[in-house]
Structures are given as structure tokens and as C-alpha cells.
């Protein structure tokens, strides 16, 4: 084998978030990849966050699905494609186009996505294709279309750096778009007069660079921005000549004035300070994300923000404009190909007969549906009711990520015929499939993605497809051909699909739409191979750049629309049985349902378990102490989570992460609890405001385990994470087993004769056992009647080492416990950082970096280091946590 360094470096794009960072990747010769940021990519200029830096550690083949499966048994591709084609054909013939559905994903490449959309809308004649972007970007799409006439992102990333004021609304940029956050932080460091405002009910890591944090009442953004709009009018900040570019101004102002900003729960002083700052700053960028989109009034929230930019004319000019940051790597590409049930390819409209006719002609298709298909929540309701009898789920895990997830899981399980295309059979959704198709993953795929600022980048294969895995576009095209549409789906490579999509976009361009990349319609295969990151449009009439600075919009009148909006009361009312509001979201180092990030031990070190952030007053009222377990209930389902008592959340509100699943922590599936309430305009679920109850879980025992082999816990609560050399598992139960030693052997799958050292102290309700083979620690379990206090990272480090050392659960005095990892790249724990601060060696984020290395690689942990520093130097109640 050639030495790793002799292999060519491949220029590709990160698999995760919508920042769309350029990545340089090279096989490391050990099954992984050496990965670094691409200095030439305009999104990241060489930077990567913790998840991007760890990409190379997630591509191993353990747990990969390597061949098709039918009914749980291995099958050939020929059988699998034949069965899928037959069942879809028969279902269509017998029950019509309404009886089939696709549920796809913003993590598919544009080429995959285009073929899926063409197959179901163009040839099966059904619009029942929706995507996880419905849970993610649908409110922005609806808001953009209402205001601009199209789904256009006006500005670019550079605007963040050029702005004098950046307002982050419902965005935890530090954790969710870390490289953009770093760009913003660097811009602010270079120009300290720049102002950053964070609008989020919760105090997040992003608040670290904020000059102002407005912890508004959940869901009250419309009232806040209506208040701003009224104030902008009062202060004379309305743009001159605005009425030649915008319609609906008077009505919007009248509604804004009639609204009551008291709904935000913010003090008049805080509101005034923000409004005044906004009014007085020309160069304002408002970044928004899921705190805006995932709301029962998400579309109104989007338009409330757009109203303020339209009124002031601060849009489409350098350093100004609204900027929706997209979640998934190809959320934008999905919008371009018309992945949503109510769209056609290239931003054309399914309900527009002219658009439909043009697309049908271009595809030479038998006929297109004339009405929008079912949106995600309704799609799974139709699966539940039996209306949808053949369902294909590609590149998404709805049994975990949909609201009311237990109900969705049951609906999929009961569907007549379910196909799932994934990288692994170990997902909650894949476990329900009749046919399981092995897809190639990020490192093996070739195609394009579009990031939040309309930049199209190539993903390029670095590794060969493993086993029999195939590309998603190829699988879809084979099914299309097998169903009889051999010319329409005769694709040999992604470049062909890309050219076809580009040619179709030329038609959209001729209709006067924004998405036109017809300049690529004749791109050669070699040109596609070399394609550099390019911001659309790419057409004779227009190249890249910003939209709307010229005052021309895509509405029939050519003017932008301001909307008259009113803050509505919360859709889900609190009631005595469900008195608390549950907010959900992301953590820094995990990606969604963890099928990839959780494979990298260093990404599991930051937070290894699902948790519930609860205010001290609410915790005290329920007798919940830190590190105990709490049960969260809603009318839909329940979850059990680790209690994290913190003033980061407001009284009466809770926060829980979305990442844990049946594979990693079965009772941590928070979407089981989340209400399936949707925005009436966009159909996007409100994932941030369910009414819930919280009570102690009352564990009789708590456990912590480390093991070389993957444990199979059988406990009412468990959370399992890969660590260096094995697994670390948290456990808890309501009843202690009679024999701990045998329970431990069952947990680890060990024979009765496995050698063990153990300590049992019934007086202190304590049990510890360390199993070993040939003198090396292979597994250990620590049990207590209160949350287990052992040095977890230290124990992980002992796997393969001296079992006797493990029993104490703590390192010796000469080996300080580094504590939970803060810097995932350089493996620096919180105690190490605190030690450096206490010793006076390091008193700034920079000097901590110099002393310990922490925060000096990807920089994703710098906000947390700053927070640790702030807490350590100004004691607060939280320091006691
Ligand atoms: N580490 C990591 N990064 C990711 C992802 C991941 O899984 N992990 N996923 C990617 C994807 S697909 C997406 S969509 C993005 C999401 O990126 P973000 O939208 O930044 O992430 P969230 O944590 O879902 O929610 C953002 C914030 O909205 C706040 N919020 C809740 N309710 C309200 C409200 O009523 N008003 C306001 N103003 N704020 C509110 C929450 O407290 C939360 O801090 O992240 C992307 N990046
Ligand atoms: N309560 C709550 N729920 C939420 C959210 C929230 O904030 N709160 N956020 C919502 C949002 S914004 C999003 S985007 C969704 C995300 O939710 P999902 O899309 O369900 O989550 P992922 O884990 O990203 O699922 C992707 C799946 O595709 C597989 N996969 C990866 N690459 C490929 C590939 O190339 N081909 C194929 N065929 N499969 C592949 C992965 O193994 C994984 O199983 O969750 C939504 N759900
Ligand atoms: S910010 Fe991180 S996760 Fe997002 S694209 Fe860049 S490296 Fe990937
Ligand atoms: Mo998302």
C-alpha cells in the first residue's frame, strides 16, 4: 500500500452543517482520513469546527450496512431493486398516486435529490415527497416567498463581517454554525465597535460575544420585531423612496403599532436599547435559525424580521440584510430541486400551470401532480391511516426526529411496505424497514451541495464505496428504469444529472425566477470534476452576488411585500398538568441522531448523555437535584433525562437536546414528548414550545460502566457512548437486582467464569466490579444509590490496563482528574482549565490556549472556555453546579 502521504489530497465539502466548509481529505491508510480545512474555500478559509475536524474518525466500516436486506435477510441488488419497483408499481396501479410517498433529506446531494423529485413527481405522478427540511427551513421558505416572491437568500457570509450590528435570532451560532461564529468573533475582535445582539429565551454559548442578550419569552419574536418596526417608523429610520420598492408598508406599520411588546416579557429599557441600536445602525445583518423557523408562527416570525429590513432598505447591500442560516449541508440544494411537497424543481411552483407544463415537457414525463403533496406531519399521518401504502425514506431518521415520534415510529412499523436507504442498519427507522438499501456515505459520494449563502460546492469521493453500497442517485435511477422509464433515468454519473438540472434552471430563469444556473448546462465531465465553489445564479444575465440591492423583487408587481402581523398566543397552552415549556435543540459536538458523530470518541467526550436544563426554582419545587434523573411527560410521550440545574433557562422553561435515540439512550428520544403542532403557513413543526410536566425519576440505583465490547443494557435508563478503546455507559434502575455480579456479566455479555475483582459495601449501597482478561481491564461497573461519582475519563483511560486501579474509581493524588472534556481537539478537561485559572497561569482565552492548547485548533470550544473563565473569576450560583 502506498504511504498515506503519497495519496492525493481530495478537495471536498464538510458533511454536516449549512456553513458548507471546504475540506481537504486524504486516506490515512488505516481506514480513516486525515482532514483539514480548505484554505481556498470561501466559506471557511481553512477553518473547521470540532465536528468537521473529526470527520476522518467517522468513516470506518464498523456498523455500516454493506448489502441490501429484505425482511431482515441479505438480498442481492437485483432482488431489492426489483421488489421496490414492483411494490411501487402495484401500489400506484391499485390505489393511485396518493398511496405512495417519499420522505427525503437535506443531507442528500443535489443530484440525489433531483432524481428523487423527478421520479416521484414527474413519473409516479405523486407530489407526496417531503423532506426533513420541512422540520428545518420550511418557515423561511414560506417567509421568503411571501416577502420576495421567491425563496431567495439575499446576502452573503461576508455581510456578517461587514456589518456594524449583527442580530442573532433563535440561533446558537457558536454550536450550530461554529465556523460562521468564528468569522463573526474574529470580525468583532478586529472591529470592537461592532455590536452583537442575541435574541434567545435561553443563555447559550453564543451569548459569549453578545453585547446584549434579550432572553425573550418563548415564541414572542413577532411582538419584539413588531415593536422594532413601529419604533423604526417613529425614529424616522424608514428608507427614502421605500414605497417604490415595497408594498404593504402602511398596513404592516399599523399592525406593528397595535401589537403589544409586553408579550416579550422584556423590560422597556432592554427593548428600547435594542430598538435604538437597530434604528441607528445602517449596516445590520439579522441572522435567524430554528428559534424562528420551528414555531407555530414560524413564517410570521420570518416576515416580522424581513419587514424591518425592507422598511429600512437594509437588504442586499454590503453588510446589510436578513440571513437565514441553513441547517443541513444541502438544505439549500433541496429547496433548489423542489424537494418540498409544494414545490417544483428550480424554484418553480407546483401550482403554476405554466411552470408545470414546462417541467413536464422538459422531463418528457407522463404527467405532473397539480396539487401539493402531503407535508411531513401529514405524510406520516397518512402512513398511519393506511392511505400511504408504499413509503421510501432516504437519508433521514424520522422515527427519532419527527415530533410525536413514538406515533411516527408506530405508523412506519405498520406501513404495508417501507424502504429505507441509509449507511447503517442501526437506526430507529432502519429497524422498521421491509427493504433496507445500503447507501454510500459522505466520503464515498460525488456531487454538489449548496450552502447558506448560495455557494455551490463539490463533494468528492475520497474512499471507494464499501461492500455493495451504492449512491443514492444511482439507486433511485435504477428503480426508475425498472419501473419502465428507461430513458428518463438513464444516468451514468452525477455530472449528467447536474447538467440536466442546470438546463432546467434556464427555463426557470426565462420565467424570471432567481434560481438560474444555466451557465453550467454544458459543463463537461472534466469541468464538473474541477468545479470551484460558485455562488448562484450562474447565468448570462446574472452571476453570484447579492439580490435585491437594486430594489427588484420576484413578485408580480416587482415590489417586495411587507406583511401585517400580530403576535399570537402560544399554540400549546400550559395547563396545571403540563405547566412547563420544553425547548429543544443541539449540542456542540453531535450531529442529529448521532449515526456519524457518535462514532468519534472525542466528540462523545464533550457531552456523553442526554440532559434536561431546568431552572433552580423549578428543580427545587420538584425535589430535583443536579445529576439525578428526571422524567418529562407530555400528552404524547415521555423521556428520562439527566438533570442539569442552571439559570441558563428561564423559570418555567426547560431545554433538552435532540440527539439521543434507541441506539444511544432509548428514553432520551425527546421527540417522543414533542407535540406535533405546525405553523399553518409552512407546515413546519414547532419543536421549541411543548407543554410538559417534570418529575423525579426516583432511581433506586445509578450505575456507570466502561467496557471494551459494546454493552447491551437492560435497564429502565441507559445512555451508551463510544470512547477510546470501548464504551462508556450510564445506567439507572427502579429496583436493584438480587445479584449485582451476575447483572454486570449480563450487561457486558461475559461468561460466568470471567475473572473479576469486586467490592460490595451494603452499608453504603455501593457495588463495584472490574472484569479482566490476562491481567487487563475489559469492563467495570460502578453502582450506588446516588448518582455515581467516579472520574469517568480516567476510567475510560484504564481500559486494557490494571483492573485493580479501576476499583477506586478515581485517579491517585499524583494524577489529577481532567474532568469532562471542553476542547475535543486537544483533549483538555474542565478541571485542567480551572487549575490553570486558579494557579493564575492563565486569565484569558488566549493565555489558556498558550498554556494548555485548549481552543487553539478548531476553536469551537472558545465560547465555553470564556464562560468557564467568567464563572471562575466572578463567582455565581452556577459555579456551584
Ligand atoms: N452541533 C450541531 N450543529 C448543527 C446541527 C447539529 O445537529 N449539531 N444541526 C444543523 C441543523 S440541521 C440545523 S437546522 C441547525 C440549527 O441551528 P440553531 O437554530 O442555531 O439550533 P437549535 O439549537 O435548534 O436552536 C437555536 C436556538 O433557538 C432558541 N429558541 C427556542 N425558542 C425560541 C424562540 O421562541 N425565539 C427565539 N428567538 N429563540 C428560540 C433555542 O433556545 C436555541 O438556542 O444546526 C445545524 N448545525
Ligand atoms: N425536537 C426537535 N426535533 C427536531 C429538531 C429540533 O430542533 N427539535 N430539528 C429538526 C431538524 S432542523 C432536522 S434537520 C432534523 C434532522 O433529523 P434527521 O434527518 O432524522 O437526522 P439525521 O441523524 O441527520 O438523519 C440522517 C440519516 O441519514 C443517514 N445518512 C447519512 N448520510 C447518508 C447518505 O449519504 N445517504 C443515505 N441514504 N443516508 C445517509 C444517517 O445515517 C442517518 O440515519 O431533525 C428535526 N427534528
Ligand atoms: S462549521 Fe463545522 S460542521 Fe459546519 S460545515 Fe464547517 S466544519 Fe462542517
Ligand atoms: Mo435542520
Place of cell 444556473: 517
**SS3 letters across 423-436:** CCCCCCCHHHCCEE
- Is residue 628 in contact with ligand 1, taking CB distance under 6 Å? no
- In this structure, which residue's CA is closest to atom 47 in ligand 1? 176
Query: Which residues make beta-bridge pairs with 717?
Result: 732
Q: Which atom of ligand 1 is nearest to the CA of 171?
A: 20
Residue 71 predicted with pLDDT over 50: yes
Helix, strand, or coil here: 383?
helix
Is the CB of residue 595 below 6 angstroms from any atom belonging to ligand 2? Answer: yes
- Indicate whether 825 pLDDT > 90: no
- The pLDDT assigned to 280 comes to 97
Cis status of the peptide bond prior to 452, with omega within 30 of 0 = no
Is the C-beta atom of 674 inside 6 A of ligand 2? yes
Read off the pLDDT of each residue in 245-261 and give the average, rounded to a whole number: 97
Domain with CATH 3.40.228.10 in the chain: 138-324
Domain 821-880 in CATH 3.10.20.30? The answer is no
Which contacts of 415-418 are long-range, i.e. CB under 8 A and separated by 24 or more positions? 415/383, 415/388, 415/389, 415/390, 415/391, 416/91, 416/386, 416/389, 416/390, 417/87, 417/91, 417/389, 417/390, 417/391, 418/391, 418/392, 418/393
Q: What is the pLDDT of residue 864?
A: 87
Lowest mean pLDDT among 451-460, 667-676, 823-832: 823-832
Q: Which residue intervals of the chain bear CATH 3.30.200.210?
A: 10-58
pLDDT band at 842 (very low <50, low <70, confident <90, very high): confident
Residue 719 near residue 609 (C-beta atoms within 8 A): yes
pLDDT over 70 percentage in the chain = 98
Phi-psi region of 544 (alpha: psi -120 to 50; beta: other; left: phi over 0): left
User: 10 Å Cβ neighbour count for 464?
Assistant: 10
Q: Report the SS3 class of residue 460.
A: coil
Residue 696: which of 624, 803, 747, 609 has the closest Cα?
624
DSSP code per residue over 248-314:
SHHHHHHHHHHS-GGGG---HHHHHHHHHHHHT-SSEEEEE-HHHHSSTTHHHHHHHHHHHHHHHT-
Any ligand 2 atom below 6 A from CB of 681: no
Phi, psi of 560 (to 5 degrees): -75, 160
> Lowest-pLDDT range, 254-263, 432-441, 597-606?
597-606
Query: What are 842's strand-pairing partners?
Result: none
Does residue 373 line the site of ligand 3, with CB under 6 A?
no
Residue 720's pLDDT is 98
How far apart CA 478 and CA 485 sit, in angstroms, is 10
Query: 580 has which bridge partners?
Result: 692
* Whether the CB of 18 sits within 6 Å of ligand 2: no
Label residue 874 by pLDDT band (50, 70, 90). Answer: low
Q: Which tens digits make up the pLDDT trace of 267-290?
A: 999 999 999 999 999 999 999 999
Nearest CA owner, ligand 1 atom 32: 291
Using an 8 Å Cβ cutoff, are 580 and 694 in contact?
A: yes
Give the pLDDT score at 573. 93
- Strands 611-614 and 638-645, how do they pair? parallel
Q: What is the DSSP string of 527-583?
A: HHHH---EESPBSSS-BSS-SSTTS--SSTTSSEE-----PPPPSS--BTTB-EEEE
The rounded mean pLDDT for the chain is: 95
Q: For residue 75, what are the contacts with CB-CB under 8 A and spacing of at least 6?
A: 67, 68, 69, 83, 435
Query: Where would I find the beta strands (DSSP E) of 306-430?
Result: 321-324, 390-394, 417-422
Residue 763 has pLDDT above 90, yes or no: no
Tell me which of 13, 14, 326 to substitute to probe ligand 3's pocket, judged by most ligand atoms within 8 Å of the beta carbon: 14
- For residue 158, give the C-alpha cell: 461576508
Q: Would you state the torsion angle of the CA atoms of residues 385, 390, 394, 397, taken in this order, to the nearest 10 degrees? A: 30
Q: How far is the CA of 323 from the centre of ligand 1 (A)?
A: 15
Band (879; pLDDT cuts 50, 70, 90): very low
SS3 state at 648: coil
All CATH 3.40.50.740 domain ranges in the chain, comma separated: 69-135+331-535
Tell me, in angstroms, the distance from the centre of ligand 1 to residue 168's CA.
Answer: 11
pLDDT in tens, 319-344: 999 999 999 999 999 999 998 888 89
CATH 2.40.40.20 residue ranges of the chain are 580-696
Instruction: Please state, as a whole number, how many other Cβ atoms lie within 10 Å of the Cβ of residue 739.
Output: 10
pLDDT value at residue 765: 78
Give the per-residue pLDDT at 698. 95
Rounded to the nearest angstrom, the distance between the alpha carbon of 175 and the centre of ligand 1 is: 9
In the predicted model, is pLDDT for residue 877 greater than 60? no
pLDDT grade for 291, boundaries at 50, 70 and 90: very high
Q: Is the CB of 673 under 6 A from ligand 2?
A: no
User: Looking at residue 6, what is its pLDDT?
Assistant: 56
- C-alpha 16 to ligand 3 mean position (Å): 6
Residue 875 has pLDDT above 50, yes or no: no
Nearest CA to ligand 3 atom 2: 49
- Rounded to whole angstroms, the Cα distance separating 173 from 857 reads 18
Topology given in CATH for the domain delimited by 69-135+331-535: Rossmann fold (3.40.50)
- The alpha carbon of 771 and the centre of ligand 1 are apart by a number of angstroms equal to 42
Burial (CB count <10 Å: 0-12, 13-18, 19+), residue 490: exposed
DSSP E strand boundaries for 624-754: 629-633, 638-645, 653-657, 690-696, 701-707, 717-723, 726-733
Tell me the C-alpha distance between 616 and 368, whole Å. 56
Q: Does any ligand 1 atom lie closer than 6 A to the CB of residue 20?
A: no
| CATH class for the domain made up of 138-324 | alpha beta
Residue with cell 467495570: 780
The Cα-based distances of 650 to 202, 252, 572, 581, 656 in angstroms read 7, 31, 18, 10, 14
Query: Distance between CA atoms of 818 and 832, rounded to whole angstroms?
Result: 5
Provide mean pLDDT across the span 646-673. Answer: 98
Helix (H) or strand (E) holding 22: strand 22-27
- The 10s digit of each residue's pLDDT in 551-593 is 999 999 999 999 999 999 999 999 999 999 999 999 999 999 9
Using pLDDT thresholds of 50, 70 and 90, give the confidence band for residue 248: very high
Q: Give the number of whichever ligand sits closest to the CA of residue 16.
A: 3
Q: Quick one: cell of 110? A: 443535489
Check if CATH label 2.40.40.20 holds for domain 580-696: yes
Q: Which three cell numbers stand for residue 267?
A: 423590560
| C-beta separation of 390 from 91 below 8 A | yes
The reported pLDDT for the residue numbered 881 is 35
| Architecture in CATH for domain 10-58 | 2-Layer Sandwich (3.30)
Q: Which of 783, 794, 782, 862 is nearest to 822 (CA)?
A: 862
Query: Cα(795)–Cα(782) distance, rounded to whole angstroms?
Result: 11
pLDDT of residue 2: 43
For residue range 708-747, list pLDDT tens digits in order: 999 999 999 999 999 999 999 999 999 999 999 999 999 9
**Three cell numbers, residue 486:** 428507461
Q: How confident is the model at residue 826 (pLDDT cuts 50, 70, 90)?
A: confident
- 15 Cα to the center of ligand 3, angstroms: 8
Residue 86 has pLDDT above 50, yes or no: yes
- E strand residue ranges, 744-831: 755-761, 766-773, 776-784, 821-823, 828-829
876 pLDDT band, cuts 50/70/90, is very low
User: For residue 744, which of 776, 719, 723, 714 has the smallest C-alpha distance?
Assistant: 714
Ligand 2, atom 24: nearest CA belongs to which residue? 592
With a cut of 50, say whether residue 153 has pLDDT above it.
yes
Dist CA 78 CA 479 (whole Å): 10
Residue closest by Cα to atom 30 of ligand 2: 395
Q: Give the position, in ligand 1's atom list, of the atom nearest the Cα of 175.
A: 1
Closest residue by CA, ligand 1 atom 42: 202
The residue whose CB lies within 8 Å of the most ligand 2 atoms, and thus the one to mutate among 51, 443, 636, 658, is 658
What is the tens place of the pLDDT at every residue in 420-451? 999 999 999 999 999 999 999 999 999 999 99
Instruction: Please report the pLDDT score of residue 1 as a whole number.
Output: 43
Cα–Cα distance, 186 to 470 (Å, whole number) = 41
Amino acid at each position: 500500500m502506498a504511504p498515506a502521504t503519497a495519496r492525493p489530497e481530495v478537495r471536498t465539502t464538510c458533511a454536516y452543517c449549512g456553513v458548507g466548509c471546504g475540506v481537504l481529505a486524504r486516506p490515512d491508510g488505516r481506514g480513516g482520513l486525515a482532514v483539514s480545512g480548505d484554505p481556498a474555500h470561501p466559506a471557511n478559509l481553512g477553518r473547521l469546527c470540532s465536528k468537521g475536524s473529526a470527520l476522518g474518525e467517522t468513516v470506518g466500516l464498523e456498523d455500516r450496512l454493506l448489502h441490501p436486506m429484505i425482511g431482515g435477510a441479505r438480498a442481492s441488488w437485483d432482488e431489492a431493486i426489483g421488489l421496490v419497483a414492483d411494490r411501487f408499481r402495484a401500489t400506484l396501479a391499485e390505489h393511485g398516486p396518493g398511496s405512495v410517498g417519499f420522505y427525503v433529506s437535506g443531507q442528500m446531494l443535489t443530484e440525489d435529490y433531483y432524481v428523487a423529485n423527478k421520479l416521484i413527481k414527474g413519473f409516479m405522478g405523486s407530489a407526496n415527497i417531503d423532506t426533513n427540511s420541512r422540520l428545518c427551513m420550511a418557515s423561511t421558505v414560506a417567509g421568503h416567498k411571501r416577502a420576495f416572491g421567491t425563496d431567495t437568500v439575499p446576502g452573503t457570509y461576508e455581510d456578517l463581517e461587514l456589518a456594524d450590528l449583527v442580530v442573532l435570532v433563535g440561533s446558537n451560532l457558536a454550536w450550530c454554525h461554529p465556523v460562521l461564529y468564528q468569522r463573526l468573533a474574529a470580525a468583532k475582535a478586529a472591529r470592537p465597535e461592532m455590536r452583537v445582539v442575541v435574541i434567545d429565551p435561553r443563555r447559550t454559548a453564543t451569548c459569549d460575544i453578545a453585547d446584549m442578550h434579550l432572553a425573550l419569552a418563548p415564541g414572542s419574536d413577532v411582538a419584539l420585531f413588531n415593536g422594532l418596526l413601529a419604533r423604526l417608523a417613529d425614529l424616522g429610520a424608514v428608507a427614502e423612496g421605500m414605497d417604490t420598492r415595497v408594498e404593504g408598508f402602511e398596513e404592516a406599520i399599523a399592525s406593528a403599532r397595535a401589537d403589544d411588546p409586553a408579550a416579550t416579557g422584556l423590560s422597556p429599557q432592554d427593548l428600547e436599547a435594542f430598538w435604538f441600536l437597530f434604528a441607528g445602525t445602517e449596516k445590520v445583518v439579522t441572522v435567524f435559525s430554528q428559534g424562528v423557523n420551528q414555531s407555530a408562527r414560524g413564517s410570521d416570525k420570518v416576515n416580522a424580521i424581513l419587514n424591518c429590513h425592507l422598511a429600512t432598505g437594509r437588504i442586499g447591500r454590503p453588510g446589510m440584510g436578513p440571513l437565514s442560516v441553513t441547517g443541513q449541508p444541502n438544505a439549500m440544494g433541496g429547496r433548489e430541486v423542489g424537494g418540498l411537497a409544494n414545490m417544483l424543481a428550480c424554484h418553480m411552483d407546483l401550482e403554476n400551470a405554466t411552470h408545470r407544463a414546462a417541467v413536464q415537457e422538459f422531463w418528457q414525463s407522463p404527467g405532473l401532480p397539480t396539487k401539493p403533496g402531503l407535508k411531513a406531519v401529514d405524510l406520516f399521518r397518512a402512513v398511519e391511516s393506511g392511505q400511504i401504502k408504499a413509503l421510501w425514506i432516504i437519508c433521514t431518521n424520522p422515527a427519532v426526529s419527527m415530533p410525536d415520534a413514538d406515533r411516527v415510529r408506530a405508523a412506519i412499523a405498520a406501513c404495508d411496505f417501507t424502504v429505507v436507504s441509509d449507511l447503517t442498519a442501526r437506526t430507529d427507522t432502519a429497524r422498521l424497514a421491509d427493504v433496507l438499501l445500503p447507501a454510500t456515505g459522505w466520503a464515498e459520494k460525488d456531487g454538489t451541495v449548496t450552502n447558506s449563502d448560495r455557494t455551490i460546492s463539490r463533494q468528492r469521493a475520497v474512499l471507494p464505496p464499501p461492500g455493495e453500497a451504492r449512491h443514492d442517485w444511482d439507486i433511485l435511477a435504477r428503480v426508475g428504469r425498472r419501473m419502465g422509464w428507461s430513458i428518463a433515468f438513464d444516468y451514468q454519473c452525477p455530472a449528467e444529472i447536474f447538467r440536466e438540472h442546470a438546463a432546467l434552471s434556464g427555463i426557470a430563469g426565462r420565467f424570471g425566477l432567481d434560481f438560474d444556473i444555466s451557465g453550467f448546462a454544458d459543463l463537461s465531465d472534466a469541468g464538473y470534476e474541477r468545479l470551484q465553489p460558485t455562488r448562484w445564479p450562474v447565468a448570462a444575465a446574472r452571476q453570484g452576488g447579492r439580490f435585491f440591492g437594486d430594489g427588484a423583487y420576484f413578485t408580480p408587481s416587482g415590489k417586495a411585500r411587507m406583511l401585517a402581523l400580530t403576535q399570537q398566543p402560544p399554540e400549546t397552552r400550559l395547563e396545571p398538568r403540563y405547566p412547563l415549556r420544553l425547548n429543544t435543540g443541539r449540542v456542540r459536538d453531535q450531529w442529529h441522531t448521532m449515526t456519524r458523530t457518535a462514532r468519534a470518541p472525542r466528540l462523545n467526550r464533550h457531552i456523553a448523555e442526554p440532559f434536561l436544563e431546568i431552572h433552580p426554582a423549578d428543580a427545587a419545587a420538584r425535589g430535583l437535584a443536579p445529576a439525578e434523573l428526571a422524567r418529562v411527560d407530555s400528552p404524547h410521550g415521555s423521556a428520562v433525562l439527566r438533570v442539569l440545574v442552571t439559570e441558563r433557562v428561564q423559570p418555567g422553561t426547560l431545554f433538552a437536546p435532540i440527539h439521543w435515540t434507541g441506539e444511544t439512550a432509548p428514553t432520551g428520544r425527546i421527540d417522543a414528548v414533542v407535540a406535533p403542532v405546525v405553523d399553518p403557513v409552512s407546515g413546519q413543526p414547532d419543536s421549541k414550545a411543548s407543554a410538559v410536566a417534570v418529575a423525579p425519576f426516583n432511581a433506586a440505583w445509578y450505575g456507570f460502566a466502561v467496557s471494551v465490547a459494546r454493552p447491551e443494557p437492560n435497564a429502565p435508563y441507559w445512555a451508551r457512548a463510544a470512547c477510546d478503546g470501548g464504551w462508556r455507559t450510564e445506567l439507572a434502575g427502579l429496583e436493584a437486582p438480587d445479584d449485582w455480579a451476575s447483572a454486570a456479566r449480563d450487561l457486558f455479555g461475559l461468561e460466568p467464569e470471567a475473572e473479576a475483582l469486586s467490592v460490595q459495601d451494603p452499608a453504603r449501597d455501593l457495588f463495584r466490579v472490574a472484569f479482566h482478561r490476562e491481567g487487563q481491564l475489559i469492563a467495570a461497573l460502578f453502582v450506588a444509590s446516588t448518582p455515581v461519582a467516579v472520574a469517568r475519563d480516567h476510567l475510560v483511560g484504564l481500559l486494557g490496563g490494571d483492573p485493580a486501579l479501576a476499583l477506586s474509581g478515581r485517579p491517585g493524588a499524583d494524577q489529577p482528574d481532567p474532568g469532562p472534556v471542553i476542547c475535543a481537539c486537544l483533549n483538555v478537561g474542565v478541571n485542567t482549565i480551572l487549575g490553570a485559572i486558579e494557579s493564575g497561569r492563565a486569565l484569558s482565552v488566549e493565555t489558556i490556549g498558550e498554556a494548555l492548547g485548549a481552543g487553539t485548533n478548531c476553536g469551537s470550544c472558545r465560547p465555553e472556555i470564556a464562560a468557564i473563565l467568567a464563572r471562575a473569576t466572578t463567582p455565581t450560583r452556577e459555579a456551584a453546579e
